[in-house]
Chain A
Amino acid sequence: DIQMTQSPSSLSANVGDRVSITCRASQGIRKDLGWYQQKPGQAPKRLIYSATNLQGGAPSRFSGSISGADFILTISSLQPEDVATYYCLQHNSYPYTFGQGTKLEIK
C-alpha cells in the first residue's frame, strides 16, 4: 500500500500568513493526488485535483505544487474561514490512501 505522510499534524498561523502543508508518498504517484478541506460536522471538500489544479469554486488563495516527492498545499493568505482539517488523498493505486490530516487554526 502507498503510505501518505502528511505534515505538520497541526498548524497555528495568523490571518494573512502564507501556510503550507506537505504530503510525501512512499512511492511514485505521478500527479494522482487531491487536497481536501474538512470543517467540523461537514463532509470533505476537494480544493485541488491532479496535484496542481484548482477545483472549480475553490478560492484562488489555495494552490498545489510538487517538489520532488513532496506534494504541497499552500494558502497564500490565511483567512478565518480556512480553519479546518486538511487531507491529501492519493488515487494512483489501490487502496487509495489519505494522509493523516493537518488541523489548521488561527493564532
Chain B
Amino acid sequence: QVQLVQSGAEVKKPGASVKVSCKTSGYTFIGYPMYWVRQAPGQGLDWMGWINPNTGATYYVQKFEGRVTMTRDTSSDTAYMELSSLTSDDTAVYYCSLILPSDYWGQGTLVIVSS
C-alpha cells in the first residue's frame, strides 16, 4: 500500500533552515508529483508547491519563493522540502502529499521556530 513517512519534529531558531523528508513506498515514485502543504497552529491549509520527482521540476508559491527548495532522491524514493530564513510565522505542521490524482498524505512534521 502507498505510504508517505515523514521525518520527525524539529525545533529551530529564527534565521535557521529546516529540511523535512518524505520517504515513500508502495507506488512508482517518479510517476506522480509530490505536493507540500503546511498548517500553522489553529489555522487553515496552505499549499506551498510541488516537485516532479521524474524531472526535478518544481513550482513554488510566490510567498515562499527564494526560501523554499523542494528536491528528491530517486534512489531512495524520498522527497525533501527545505525552508530557510525561518521566522516564528513558519511554525507549522508540514505535510507531503499525493493529492492528484489520488489522495495520500504523510503524517505531518511539526516545525517549531523559537528563540
B108 near A89: Cβ-Cβ < 8 Å: no
Q: Which of A22-30, A43-51, A72-80 contacts B (4 or more CB under 8 A)?
A: A43-51
Interface membership of chain B positions 28-51, coded 1 if the CB is closer than 8 angstroms to chain A and 0 otherwise: 000000010100000011110100
A87 near B99: Cβ-Cβ < 8 Å: no
Restricting to A62-107, which residues have a CB under 8 Å from any CB of B? 87, 89, 91, 94-101
By size class, the interface of chain A is: 20 to 34
User: A residues touching B (Cβ–Cβ < 8 Å)?
Assistant: 34, 36, 38, 43-46, 49, 55, 87, 89, 91, 94-101
A-B contact pairs, 12 of them (CB 8 A): A34-B103, A36-B45, A38-B45, A43-B106, A43-B108, A44-B37, A49-B101, A49-B103, A91-B99, A95-B49, A97-B47, A100-B44
